[in-house]
Amino acid sequence: MRPALFTVLAVSGLCAMPAFGAEYAFSVTNRSQSAVVGITVRGGAIVDFKRIASGGTRDLVISLPDGNCATRLTIAFDDVDGFVMDYDACESGGIEVDN
């Protein structure tokens, strides 16, 4: 691949990535009988996610692009189907999950 073409592709790839600029602290309380093994954030990310045991609470940080508060969270459990929920990081300081 020619160096000029590689540079264009690399820059194009960087432009497609979302810019995370805002971080919001929130807590997750797990009221289910199963461990929470993952949380995905539409258009964002969870910073340093760690498993949340049944009955446990963990403080997390959600990163979203600047100016975005509303997102959709997908909660995954270790032994049952997960679920999807809408979340507003500017209005809420946490969630309780139950399967």
> b or e along 77-91 (b: 16 or more beta carbons within 10 Å of the residue's beta carbon)?
beeeebeeeebebee
Instruction: Quote the number of domains for the chain.
Output: 1
In the prediction, which pLDDT does 20 show? 56
Q: How far apart are CA 89 and CA 94, in angstroms?
A: 8
Would residue 39 count as lying in a domain?
A: yes
Q: How far apart are CA 1 and CA 91, in angstroms?
A: 49
In the prediction, which pLDDT does 98 show? 86
pTM here? 0.75
In the prediction, which pLDDT does 67 show? 85
Would residue 79 count as lying in a domain?
A: yes
Would residue 28 count as lying in a domain?
A: yes
In the prediction, which pLDDT does 19 show? 52
Distance from CA of residue 21 to its chain's centroid? 14
DSSP 8-state secondary structure symbol assigned to residue 52: B
Would residue 72 count as lying in a domain?
A: yes
Residue ranges of the chain with per-residue pLDDT less than 70: 1-20
Domain of residue 70: give its range.
19-97
Residue 77: give its domain's CATH number: 2.60.40
In the prediction, which pLDDT does 66 show? 87
